[in-house]
Amino acid sequence: MEKNNPPFTLSLSKGDVRGSAGSPRTFVWILALVMALVVPLGAVRTVFAVERVEPSDTDKDGKPDEWRYFEGQALVRVERDRDHDGKPEVRIWMKDGKPEHSEVDRNGDGKPDIVRFLKEGKPEREQADLNFDGKLDAWTYYKDGVKDLMIMDKNFDGQPDAWFYYGQGGTKLVAGSIDENFDGKPDRTFGNLPKEESRKPW
């Protein structure tokens, strides 16, 4: 016959909360003890960090279209609703007051189509899903925050087939190499191409 074990009672010290193993108060005490022993203090602060949201109506139509998220006094994220459907399409993560990472959902399916990585607030590289099939097909590199090179998968087969170089502040296409028949070899080039190119899709 199975023996009945006596109910578990947690006793920290005289006058402390006492309760059975199923008591909610007992569970809270046990959880607190475990976290104090095994979880670093910094992680505890992160878990319990209170995120404050400040909505704003930038176009004055009576509806919020921008949300700024704070942890303490630090701005950590900005979300923007550009098509005024009540849902944000743009999300920008901040670090030390500067953008560090951004995502844009261009077709409103809830998934980011353009992801940009920034350094010291300036664009460093960007990846995009141009045909909304869930796969990346364009990769852009920036130099000192200015567009320098775009690599594209024009037939969406997972292999890059076009390299475009930009000048004049990233606004003018100055050189390129294109694989027009998608056999893995460039068929057409123009402008002054660099002798070597180590940058690739990622």
Average pLDDT over residues 163-192: 96
pLDDT given for residue 37 in this prediction: 55
pLDDT given for residue 154 in this prediction: 95
Please tell me the least confidently modeled range out of 34-48, 92-106, 141-155, 187-201. Answer: 34-48
Tens-place pLDDT, residues 103-144? 999 999 999 999 999 999 999 999 999 999 999 999 999 999
d(CA 30, CA 20) in angstroms, rounded, equals 12
| Strand-pair category, 51-56 with 74-80 | unpaired
| Rounded alpha-carbon distances, angstroms, from residue 161 to 98, 103, 188, 189, 194 | 34, 25, 11, 12, 17
| Rounded alpha-carbon distances, angstroms, from residue 198 to 127, 180, 202 | 17, 21, 12
pLDDT class of 202 with cuts at 50, 70, 90: confident
Tens-place pLDDT, residues 21-65? 455 565 555 655 555 554 454 444 444 456 899 999 999 999 999
Tens-place pLDDT, residues 66-90? 999 999 999 999 999 999 999 999 9
Q: Rounded to the nearest 5°, which phi and psi values hold at 153?
A: -110, 95
d(CA 140, CA 162) in angstroms, rounded, equals 12
Tens-place pLDDT, residues 4-18? 444 434 343 444 444
